[in-house]
Amino acid sequence: MAAAGVILIDGGALEGGGQILRNAAALSCLLGQPITVNNIRAGRSNPGLRPQHLTGLQLISQLCGGKLSGVNVGSTEITFHPGPIKAGSYTADTKTAGSICLLMQAALPCLLFANERTQLSLRGGTNAEMAPQVDYTMMVFQPIAEKFGMKFECSVKRRGYYPKGGGEVVTTSHPVKSLTAVELIDRGNVTNIFGRAFVAGVLPIKVAHTMAQSAERLLRVGNAGLAIKIEALKEPEQSAVGTGTGIILVAETSTGCLLAGSALGKKGVPAEKVGADAAQMLIDNMKHGGCVDEYLQDQLILLMALARGKSRVLCGPITLHTETAIHVAKLLTQAKFNREKLSDMSNIIECEGIGLENTQV
């Protein structure tokens, strides 16, 4: 049982992973609402907090001088009492290949409501499995988040790959008075596709070229005449830790929508397949006719809930991550969500946001 005034959140609900923890902690920080999260990551084979989740919680607690209890690796219940969000310079290190982007997902919305601009130095994995690549955050999330009024700069100082990690990303966030609702319901036409195929460490640049060529071949089918530019590169030795390879592809539309497909290389998986997998993911995301891809969907829910006014987003099939993000937002805010099913392939998510105001600026 949570104490009086503390909202109890079931960490095993719906997607049942770290996302519930990240969204709940961010909203707790933003709203000044104490929370207890139990059954943490109950849906995973190794339930409870992992080092990455621990780092994320500690970072959010630092940002607001909060009080955390139950924060140990393996813990299945935490309680968080937030304080006021304070600007400054903060550092967080997963000490593993844990995703830097998942730390950013939790922390960056909080910093919009700080009193001044804030710098984060985040260390861990920049291109990790089961998380957005840092390239996705900069190429897709960042420009769409700007439509809400969210402004931040992001600089990759060093890339870090599984299993070593060791990457570093520095962000600078700028405070806002409030976020603005957005309408993303007109997809327009795909005007061009751009991307980045990379290798680092002991892998030759030929692998990057193979991924890029494989992706382009598949994308050309049915897209004759479309401008496609995929950069193939080898990360400079001083700018990367460990050996890694991957590709990200982004389709831009006439109305400013951005849709992506990506894949990371693994031992024993041919480079041709890595490139083709990323291309197929992008093709699938273009097919449903939505304005956002399956990975941006859930990342916008928190911004929609905080914004002033009604946001509407046209998307493909609603993912479990999105359902989970809506569930947590409804538990902690008064935001009203509505889903309109247009077809088996497309939906509109509506949200009347709470218009949270930054009283510090």
- 53 is annotated as an active-site residue: no
Quote the CA–CA distance of 334 and 314 in Å, as a whole number.
22
**Dihedral over Cα of 86, 87, 88, 92: its sign:** positive
Q: Residue 202: which of 167, 161, 263 has the closest Cα?
A: 161
Which element (helix H / strand E) includes 26? helix 18-31
Burial of 237 (0-12, 13-18, 19+ CB in 10 A): exposed
Count Cβ atoms below 10 Å from residue 64 Cβ, excluding itself. Answer: 21
What proportions of the chain, in percent to the nearest 5, are helix, strand and coil?
Answer: 30, 30, 35
Quote the CA–CA distance of 296 and 258 in Å, as a whole number.
9
Q: Residue 148: which of 315, 339, 313, 327 has the closest Cα?
A: 313
Q: Residue 53: which of 78, 77, 21, 27 has the closest Cα?
A: 21
- Cβ 201 vs Cβ 164: under 8 Å: no
Question: Mind giving me the DSSP string for 170-239?
Answer: EEEEE--S--B--EE-----EEEEEEEEEEETT--HHHHHHHHHHHHHHHHTT-TT-EEEEEEEE--GGG
Query: From the candidates 53, 288, 321, 327, which is the catalytic residue?
Result: 321
Which element (helix H / strand E) includes 152? strand 151-160
Per the annotation, binding residues for ATP are 105, 295-299
CA–chain centroid gap for 27, Å, is 15
Per the annotation, binding residues are 105, 295-299
Residues forming a β-bridge with 94: none
- The catalytic residues are 321
